[in-house]
Structure 1
């Protein structure tokens, strides 16, 4: 996902950027102190970058990332650019996009956020040591300069961690969606005849997906009969049962008859309890009987 699009998904606007800076307490005096550190940070940016990745390399939990040369090479370049841009005093959308790119890279490489935070802390500790060494004649002023830089570091962290969390949630959502697709397969037996086997628990979300899949398949394959096999479904609650009945009615409205097969006593009891008009339902004892009935309705034999 492009960082500009990611900014939209994370609701990061100019106003949000300013709010984040305000949250970490970054002001005009901090900006002046950070700019004063520019030469020190830029001059040693490569050393700081090396320190960051050396710490990661020392952790077994980061081995998956470290053993990915392409990811490390890109991350190394971005981290170095990150350090340089930290002390330029400008923290607008372009700066934020750089942070989001790093977050996306860490997420794609499956770098554990805890490991990243540990390496980031190590990096800032190294920078603090160098700053205090440079300001050894005025340690109070040196510490003030570091604190100002640290505020930007926390600003950056909020962006990178938000990105890692978002990408992880997006991955989980995509995987869940893929599972839903796999859990509602459509089998085209022959022209005008489809089979949809259902297995396991049918919750409201899966019931909705079932409706979408069935109606899309009817339109796509111009099906006249759809056999829905419930052999693998132990039971359904009232809401899902009603949803199933409405789906069958919707299929009929676009030209397809639905036959329910393999219905368990529990499912049959629920249908009876709900009060669905059974004259609108076509059922068969098992899948084989359902296909035979479908063949008779279509008026032909399977090729």
Structure 2
């Protein structure tokens, strides 16, 4: 038996050597390597609000250093970032919102175009990817006149990007940024921001297509302006309502979702009146949480839609929406 086992093992070894010798001659089907695409899908997302179709348009991202945040120790800020696996500087979305009411096409904010560098300026491309053309926009509602919200009004040729649109901005905002002597009176570090606002709106003003409003007022059917001061003097949110459904587009109420939801008293260096900005944020957090109101923000993680949840003791959390098919999809 032992001799037989040794003989079997010897033949098995010979067979393996033979197969190994033939292996290079065996034809193996070649599989082409798939190249990496290295691009992202177009940045738009649709949400129904009653009969309104809301399309979120992603303008891009900027990175904001937490040194810009006020009223909370650096160590506490870092803990809050770590809880949500975020880094410093924190990638921060810039969003705009296109509202098709069925009668009008309304754009809320325009993104930055190229005034804030190469990582922004995608609103127009994403508007087209979403199936619309800038010439179809009937109205542009501005939450405020910072460059990452109004810069997209102006094309590279210095002309109106939205040739038939009327641009709406609050009177308090226009008085602050667009006054004839505003640039001359501005601190040196702020003069560029005033120039961006004036350059972006000038072609619309010259065409008689720049209008102002005051206070809480219905701008267009189903779209109401709500003052939300502090970030800028005339900072404004817009409440959409259709068939009993509502959406509050709250502009720049939040810049760092990980920190400011948990601590609404935290302000950012860009706030014109930090104390007022903090009170506005606390009031809107309380209202939207109690009413379970769907909200949208220009600097909330794309697509910037979700709800505010009250966690007690003046703290809140952000609850983003889930991806969903359009309600009428088969």
**TM-score of the superposed pair, with normalisation by structure 1:** 0.31
Larger Rg computed on CA atoms: 1
The structure with the greater share of residues assigned to helix is 1
More strand per residue: 1 or 2? 2
Q: TM-score, normalised by structure 2?
A: 0.29
